[in-house]
């Protein structure tokens, strides 16, 4: 609706001066001006739509982080497309919204003494020309804790894909590359802990797509985008 209103306002605002000038004897080709205005409206419409899509995808990923913080697993699973996939760390890939939901429900519940923060930071979102698919890179900063038992720092990078279904953006592929997983009291200068292992009774549908090692080893998750300055 906003885009449609913008189109109408642009056409009216741009045509009025042309109409006045023509009535005053201007010899400009009004038809050519109208065609040029149509091109401008199309370009502006695409730009506005891309901006709205960027905001929607950003809100989608941010909502994911807040739901995971509070262990709201059904709300989290609802953000995925029907054929969406989830891959966190080195546990493998779960395929389809139902399997994603089942995986999530194996994780912790929110209760007294539980800390499970997942902050979503530094978005790099690129919307494909079709306006129906997109990719995004995010940084996650995490705090895991169980009162008087354990405290962990964790950090990593998402390389995600998104799809617009019936006009709504959803997560098509969530892939979280874990950078480090360390004990809070020891600190990262003492090295990292092993990443979370397999889940009993919940094997993945597919193996890990790209094996790697966590800190203190070095691994750079592949970028989905080119350098914005060099284009390489």
| pLDDT given at position 20 | 44
Query: Can you tell me the mean pLDDT for 98-108?
Result: 96
Closest CA to 183 of 168, 194, 175: 194
pLDDT tens profile 126-135: 999 999 999 9
pLDDT tens profile 185-196: 999 999 999 888
Tell me: pLDDT of 19 over 50: no
Identify the band that residue 146 occupies on the pLDDT scale cut at 50, 70 and 90: very high
Cα-based distances in Å from 232 to 133, 194, 224: 22, 34, 12
| Longest Cα separation, the chain | 85
Domains present along the chain, CATH in parentheses: 1-232 (3.10.450.50)
Tell me: pLDDT of 44 over 90: no
Q: How many CA atoms lie within 13 A of 32 on its CB side?
A: 4
Percent above pLDDT 90 for the chain: 75
What count of other Cβ atoms lies within 10 Å of the Cβ of residue 57?
Answer: 23
Closest CA to 79 of 163, 175, 202: 163
Q: Who wins on pLDDT, 3 or 141?
A: 141
Percent above pLDDT 70 for the chain: 88
């Amino acid at each position: 609706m906003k885009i449609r209103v913008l189109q109408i306002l642009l056409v009216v605002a741009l045509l009025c001066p042309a109409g006045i000038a023509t009535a005053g004897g201007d010899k400009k080709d009004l038809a050519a001006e109208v065609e040029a205005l149509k091109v401008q409206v199309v370009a502006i419409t695409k730009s506005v739509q891309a901006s709205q899509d960027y905001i929607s995808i950003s809100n989608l990923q941010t909502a994911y982080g807040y739901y995971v913080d509070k262990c709201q697993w059904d709300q989290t699973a609802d953000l995925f497309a029907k054929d969406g996939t989830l891959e966190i760390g080195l546990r493998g890939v779960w395929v389809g919204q139902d399997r994603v939901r089942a995986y999530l429900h194996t994780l912790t519940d929110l209760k007294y003494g539980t800390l499970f923060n997942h902050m979503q930071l530094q978005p790099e979102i690129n919307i494909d020309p079709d306006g129906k698919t997109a990719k995004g890179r995010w940084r996650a900063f995490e705090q895991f804790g169980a009162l008087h038992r354990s405290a962990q720092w964790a950090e990593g990078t998402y390389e995600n894909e998104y799809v617009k279904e019936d006009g709504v953006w959803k997560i098509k592929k969530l892939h979280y590359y874990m950078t480090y997983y360390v004990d809070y009291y020891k600190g990262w200068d003492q090295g990292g802990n092993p990443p979370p292992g397999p889940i009993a009774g919940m094997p993945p549908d597919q193996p890990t797509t790209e094996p790697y090692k966590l800190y203190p080893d070095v691994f750079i998750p592949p970028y989905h985008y080119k350098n914005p300055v060099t284009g390489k």
